[in-house]
Amino acid sequence: MRHYITSACASAALIFSLASCSDKGAMQVETYTVSETSMSEIVTATGTMESVTSVDVGTQVTGIVSQLLVDFNDIVKKGELIAEIDKTLLSAEVESANASLASAKAQFEYAQQNYNRDLALHKEKLISDYEFQTTLKDYQVAKMNYEKTQADRVRAATNLGYAEIYSPIDGIVVSREVEVGQTVVSSMNVANLYVIADLDHMQVVGNVDEADIGQVKVGQHVTFTVDSYPDDTFTGTVTQVRISPTTTNNVVTYEVIVSTENPDHKLLPGMTANLSIYTLELDNILAVPLKAMKFNPEFAQGEDMKDMPKLVPLDSVCKNSVWVLKENNQLVQTPVEVGMSNSVYQQITGGLKPGDKVAIQISEASDEGNPQGAKKEENPFMPKPPGQRNKTKK
């Protein structure tokens, strides 16, 4: 849904009354006094608060949880130890890998010595090709076995290191999934222990109607409120406009991501935010009502318009122009340069200056002293002046 806001610093509407000999009353030219103003256009939407960075912290090894060092709402730092898995079996695997590595190393060194000796003998034609090829094969097998045991040793040591769980980011623990003594099983899915979120940097996933999504651009200013703090207004910036549509009950919406800072941690994941996206923001500009752009005094004819200000039209056709009321009682058609607009006002980038009185419309006043032409309402319970109570309507 779009909303339009225009606030003027010193603008005002001036009514230029024209005396008329007709019984219909005085005719009047309404004018708008040009001054510096601001103009905004807003698209409203609702969305859900999310943390920009939220990490599911798990384990890549199977074992029993021996320690949980943090709990719900605890603040953690990147690299801080937060949990441990029992290391008994993992340590045993490391010792087994060390023994296998030592054995493979001894076999490799022995095969290497035999290979170097037989290589020298083969060059002197003292052993057959078959004997040398057998020695070469034994050497290559021992070398590959040694390299494999080295990799097994690295894997066993790495798994032992995975028994200590460290925080991957600075944040707050928003969820704890396990208890001490619980067995976690590593499979295709990592077994989650914690959910840690960075609440300093939040985002709103807003749902914008398809009629308004064309106006929303990255970088636009956003204000929003949440039900938990109705008196507080938060600010943010559009960082992403997702082109994937969502259809609910035949209503098509698009997701708009709004980033915001959250130093006080008032904003929590899951809160509903009411967004106001400023698709147009102009400050210290000159603007006139759209009525002024469409105003045409040349249709005003007849006896009632005999005191109409003198019209001074342009000699040539102009795409955009307004009628300016001068001090010498002249309405002068003035060409203008235009900028942005909303449903109420048009920005003027050239042709006018502050203080110019731009004609809006011509209207008729039915009561003297009532320039808007509205009839004054009478209270039937108020006492009437003397002599009026017994008057009969003719």
Tens digits of per-residue pLDDT, 156-206? 999 999 999 999 999 999 999 999 999 888 765 667 899 999 999 999 999
Q: What residue type is assigned to position 317 of the chain?
A: V
CA 372 to chain centre: 44
Task: Determine the pLDDT at residue 312.
Answer: 87
Can you tell me the mean pLDDT for 240-263? Answer: 95
Distance separating alpha carbons of residues 333 and 312, to the nearest angstrom: 6
Task: Determine the pLDDT at residue 380.
Answer: 47
* Between residues 336 and 342, the one the model is more confident about: 336
* Both tokens assigned to 33: 């006094």
Using the structure block, give the residue that is written with the tokens 């203008």.
Answer: 336
Task: Determine the pLDDT at residue 367.
Answer: 52
- pLDDT higher than 70, residue 26: no
b/e map 62-76, b = 16+ CB within 10 Å: ebebeebebeeebeb
Task: Determine the pLDDT at residue 381.
Answer: 44
SS3 284: strand
- pLDDT higher than 60, residue 17: no
Mean pLDDT of the chain: 85
Local confidence band at 394 (pLDDT 50, 70, 90 cut-offs): very low
SS3 337: strand
* Both tokens assigned to 164: 């200590």
Beta strands 330-335 and 310-312 are parallel
